[in-house]
Chain A
Amino acid sequence: MTRLSKLTAALFTGVMLAFPALGTELRIGLQDDADVLDPAQSRTFVGRIVYTALCDKLVDVSPTLEIVPQLATSWEWSADATVLTMKLREGVVFHDGTPFNAAAVVANIERGQTLPESRRKSELASVSKVEATGDYAVKFTLKSPDVSLLAQLSDRAGMMVSPKAAKELGAVFGSKPVCSGPFKFVERIQQDRIVLEKFPQYWDAKNIFIDKVTYLPIPDTTVRLANLRSGDLDMLERLAATDYASVKADTKLTSAETVGIGYMALYANVANGARAKNPFGEDKRLREAFSLAIDREALNQVVYEGTSVAGNQPYAPNSPWFNKDIPVPARDVDKAKALMKAAGHEKLDIELQVPNNPVAMQMMQVVQSMVAEAGFNVSLKATEFATLLSEQTAGNYQLSRSDWSGRVDPDGNLHQFVTCKGGINDVKYCNPEVDTLLNDARKTPDTAVRKQKYDAALKLLDQDMPIIYLGHQSYIWALNKNVTGFVASPDGMIRLPGVKKG
């Protein structure tokens, strides 16, 4: 080779070696800004999306909602569901080099239970003791049988942070989170961006094809989509249902969708304070009439362009926990009117509290006009979200529109809402039979037995109807065509292993 060509070859090689430094960056548009980046304190949905890349958990969830290994490789319940033993993955390190082991798990669980600012206390309430039975084995001892714990460990309660960093930073851990996920924390500018970069020592690094992830909170759905179209974003979450058709028609974009595990519902104040003392709160026939006057399929079409699913239970019709004996009712105005007459009210005034975002307002206006035909005169009270929460808790409402983002374990969509001492029981419904059924359902890992109990509880709830379920939204992601490998998951999370760009 001549000297010139040798030089050129050397230059070329040098340039090629430099290229990996540029790396692939994935820019993801989020609906909101995450709050504190500390799994123990965090309480936002988008926070969980960020953790999916930043913090590994003991167990994860498959797209079919089965519990699969992540930091724990296997687990076993005792026969009476009071002891959970787990074997942990070996060779895992945290982003700061601290090794992951049983001691770390114990430290994390205890942190979730004892850190004063921890929001995980109610999730870990059933754990009375957690101990390391070996370097890579832990044992959870529960106060009372509770199989839903496993699902809790697939979410924030099971996220493992570096005990060293947690000890150093304490409550301000969120300023520099150190976990063991596929990506490590680079920087976070509130309301602007959260930047993570690939962690080379991740235990499954061979499946990570992205070098840098940037999460950008862009609340306006139109602007978020505009960013995707212009190439400033590679993917976005929660595409507005009304944009779905145009994204599908766009050859430069692809979409992924799945029905979510949450639900949309109306909470009726049946026993929460003075405002419960009204015909609607006291007579279940009126509530049933209200429910029958709603055309759930039409709602789905009008508000969500057919992307959502009509429902009448906390679980979607395609969920294994759906009670097939209580199918989603079709609209029946005549029956509704008959029920109302039997209850003694041909016309009834109701105040419906709605969070003042456009989609919720639109949906409730449609409901308003639907139930008007049966004789319900609904007045809508648009309330800011923060106010709506406290009004609901305080019982200062008649009917309130509220969503739940959903939990993997069926217990998570029901227990706290309808048991007598349930922590989020804003309707203050209390039926000892339902309590027994739901508590029993926690006591065994046997799915068939659990289904029986939930079916029975759902039947009772359907008769009393303290909560009128409307349906289940789908999560819709829009992606640039060159982003491949993304699998839609009913919990709404963005899992990055396997995702490639270009």
Chain B
Amino acid sequence: MTMIETVTPPVTDRASDGSRAWRKMKANKSALFGLFIILFFTLLAIAAPILPVPDPLATSWSAIRKAPSAAHWLGTDDIGRDILSRMIFGARASLMAGVFSVAIAVGIGVPFGLVAGYFGGWVDIVISRVTEAFLAMPFLITAIALAAFLGPSLVNAMIAIGLSAMPIFVRLTRGQVLSVKTEDYVEGARSVGLGHLDIMLRYILPNVMPPIIVQATLTIATAIIAEASLSFLGLGQQPPAPSWGSMLNIAKNFLSQAPWMAMWPGAAIFLVVIGFNLLGDGLRDALDPREA
């Protein structure tokens, strides 16, 4: 699992670049495929409560670890719950874990990066040192320690992952701001007398967004795997609520007796993560001004 960020030069002329990016995206089949996968799972997750599937929490001791059949399309788990339904409801947990963690990481990381890059000086030094400190600690370790500290639950896992991923966005944003800071339009805005907050929000932020969006998309993929990893260690979504990661955690004890318990969540994680990776790649290619 890597957290290497992308480095793309800032986009300057937004209007024509926007439409060019959109054209490139539309032509990029794999990116569209990725988007399709994501939309599929998202719709599934949203529609979960109204779909005609059994209750994901309903246990049945006569149907323990049954192979896929007409009654249970994907089989049942170790206490008789329907796996198809747990997969669908689990999509909500896993997708939310991915999106919310990254939202936390972006929500905290980008402002700090903005401030550090824009003001420079002591502010920059302090923020940079702290960020570097966090980056020097292994990501999963920080996530595990934080999750253990907060207590095992899905929400805490999201917070832990989000906080662990935040430094990436601080560093990325700061780097972008540093290169944009010297652009003419920023100088112009300053000479006109606009306040710092104004400049940061209206001029700098929109221009550094593209690589952040790319990174965010790719980080969602990492976050979903991170949630699965934390659940694998017992720190994520707690039973009986389903999440793909915790389903895998239980499934690993029954690999030879009931391999389907591990197959479906593993495959789902794999698909969704590929989807986000493809989309992120597509976004990066689309927003890269170098390729025509």
Contacts and interface: CB of A to CB of B under 8 A. Distances in A.
Interface of A: 220-222, 240, 242-243, 245-246, 298, 301-302, 356-359, 361-362, 365-366, 368-369, 380, 382-384, 387
Given A298-B61, A301-B61, A382-B152, 17 more contacts: A221-B253, A222-B252, A242-B253, A245-B257, A302-B79, A357-B234, A358-B250, A361-B238, A361-B239, A365-B59, A365-B79, A368-B240, A369-B59, A384-B148, A384-B152, A384-B234, A387-B151
B78 interface: yes
A240 B256 CA distance: 12
A243 B78 CA distance: 13
6 contacts: A222-B252, A242-B254, A358-B250, A380-B238, A383-B151, A384-B234
Nearest to B255: A222
Given A298-B61, A368-B240, A380-B238, A362 B257 contact: no
A304 to B, nearest CB: 12
Nearest to A225: B256
A368 B250 CA distance: 18
B234 A382 contact: yes
B238 A382 contact: yes
B19 to A, nearest CB: 50
B64 A302 contact: yes
Contacts of A366: 59, 61, 79
Contacts of A301: 61
B20 to A, nearest CB: 50
Contacts of A369: 59
B94 interface: no
A356 B255 contact: no
Contacts of B153: 382
Contacts, number: 60
B239 A382 contact: yes
Contacts of A221: 253
Contacts of B239: 361-362, 365, 380, 382
Nearest to A356: B234
Given A246-B256, A366-B79, A356 B238 contact: yes
Interface residues of B, number: 22
Interface in B225-262: 234-235, 238-240, 249-250, 252-257
Nearest to B61: A302
Nearest to A223: B252
Interface of B is mostly: loop
A245 B79 CA distance: 18
Contacts of B250: 358, 361-362
Nearest to A368: B240
B210 to A, nearest CB: 41
B61 A222 contact: no
Contacts of B234: 356-357, 382, 384
Nearest to A363: B79
Contact of A358 (B148, B151, B253): B253
B65 to A, nearest CB: 9
3 smallest beta-carbon distances between A and B, as pairs: A382-B238, A356-B234, A369-B59
Contacts of B235: 356, 384
Contacts of A384: 148, 152, 234-235
Given A365-B79, A380-B240, A220 B252 contact: yes
A382 to B, nearest CB: 4
A383 B152 contact: yes
A245 B256 CA distance: 11
Interface string B65-83: 0000000000000110000
Nearest to B147: A384
A361 B240 CA distance: 9
Of the candidates B59, B64, B249, B255, the one having the most CB atoms from chain A within 10 angstroms of its own CB is B59
Contacts of A222: 252-253, 255-256
Contacts of A240: 253
A246 B252 contact: no
A174 B81 CA distance: 47
Nearest to B60: A369
Nearest to B253: A358
B188 to A, nearest CB: 56
A368 B240 CA distance: 10
B118 to A, nearest CB: 42
Nearest to A387: B151
A362 B79 contact: yes
Given A298-B61, A302-B61, A384-B234, A365 B240 contact: yes
A137 B108 CA distance: 72
A220 B233 CA distance: 11
A222 B235 CA distance: 20
Contacts of A358: 249-250, 253
B239 to A, nearest CB: 5
Given A242-B253, A298-B61, A382-B239, A362 B78 contact: yes
Contacts of A362: 78-79, 239, 250
Contacts of B255: 222
Contacts of B249: 358
A221 B255 CA distance: 11
A359 B252 CA distance: 12
A242 B257 contact: yes
A384 B238 CA distance: 12
Contacts of A380: 238-240
Of the candidates B79, B252, B257, the one having the most CB atoms from chain A within 10 angstroms of its own CB is B79
Contacts of A357: 234
A392 to B, nearest CB: 16
B78 to A, nearest CB: 6
